[in-house]
Each structure stands twice: as structure tokens, then as C-alpha cells.
Chains A and B, each alone.
Chain A
């Protein structure tokens, strides 16, 4: 399974978990798996229409999935995915 790293602001929706193993062949599958395990996170990642919210940045390894194949980016066993949050504190 790939692992998905959850940023601090979203950890309240994953029971405090920082890294979650996610199943699936693509980023999209992995997110569906995440949402199935932690439904409370769904509105923070997806619009009601099901699209990914534009301020949610997903990186596979050190690349933004937008420069790969977006939500269809394939995942393999040891891939690490991370959500990079928009934070504004200073």
C-alpha cells in the first residue's frame, strides 16, 4: 500500500493519524480509500460535485500530481503521497 501523509490542519479528521496506508492503483482510488476510512475529511478535500478542491495540493514523492497524471496518477506499493495544505499563519 502507498502511504498518505496528512498535514496538521487535517489531522483532526483522521483521528490524529499522520500517515495512513491507502489502497488503490491511482491517486483517485487512494483518496476514495482515505474518505471511506475517514469520512469527516471528505468535505475538506472535495467539493459537493466530487471535484478535488482547488486549494488541495497532492504530491506523489516530490512532484505535484498536476504535473503527473492528476488524479489518475498511478500508485505503486512504496509510493508516498502527501497533501500540502494552504496555511497562512505568521
Chain B
């Protein structure tokens, strides 16, 4: 379209230095807003497990205690929600996808895509390339404390270089897929990959 209309009297209140760490269209917040499609599930750690599968066969499964015993990595990252807020300088702890593959005894990923399945039926799809090499993890701690249920505890996926809906809350199952299939929001008009630096918010962006 032509030049956007100028809104007279509208100006930035973000201060003098719009951060280079903010992707296009995002604004920084000090809060930690919550977005979920349904009620927050409250899971008992005794009932929790995480499994890794491919085509219906189980590649690995971990109880809470077993998962806690896997190698732990602390990750500092900025997070970017598709609803425009970004939160800079957050710190998380958990198990990288690489370490999870190792724990399952896999030399290499079983297929090029993964569907994350969560308590409550939420799903999101990811390319394995967006998870390996330290890019993705399953995290259990935020700022040094257990992740609250409202923010996805006890365990959520963490893929901070993509919009935060990809960092699925209440993760229970990671399932390899040969082809990239859309998950929950991806079937509902959101972008299949969701790179905030390319502003891949919606289908077709």
C-alpha cells in the first residue's frame, strides 16, 4: 500500500532508545502477560511424564524425577509474543532438545519435524532445525524458581528465537513427523514457523 497515514500527535513513549533487541512491531514490557486458549491445567508432578515418540512408537519417556536428573542448562533469552509484547533478559533452566535426544539414545533426530503435544490438547509444530544446536529446550524453571502453572509449569517447551506460542506450555509429548503439519494456532491463521525478526505473525507473512 502507499505510505501509511501519519497520526498527528502520536509519538513514541518508549524513551530515546528503541532497543535493537526488539523485533519489528514489538514493544518491551516488564510484566509477564499470559495467553492461553483455555483453562490452566494444574498438574501433579507425580502424574507428570514427558515422552518422545515417532510414528506411534516410544523413543523415550521420563518421569519428573528422571527428567530432573538429565543434564540441566541455563538459558538467558529475550522472548517475543505474537501479540506484540517482548520481555527482555529472561532466564530459564531445563534440558536442551540435544540432551533429550542423547538421553533417548538417538544418534540423530528421527524425522525433520516435531509436533509438541500439551495437557489440554494444545499442539504446535516445529522444524527439528529450530530445536537442535541448543536452539530449543524443555524448561522447568523461570528466574530460578519452578515455572508457575499459569506460565506453563511444570514443564514447557522453550524456543525463544520464534514467537512465544511455539514455546508450548504444559508440554507432555514430542512427536517426530516426516512432514510439517500445522498445530493449534498454525491451523487458525498463524504462521507455520513464526520468526519474529521476519515478523512471521500470520499465515502468508
A and B bind: no
Chain B contacts to A: CB under 8 angstroms:
none
Chain A contacts to B: CB under 8 angstroms:
none
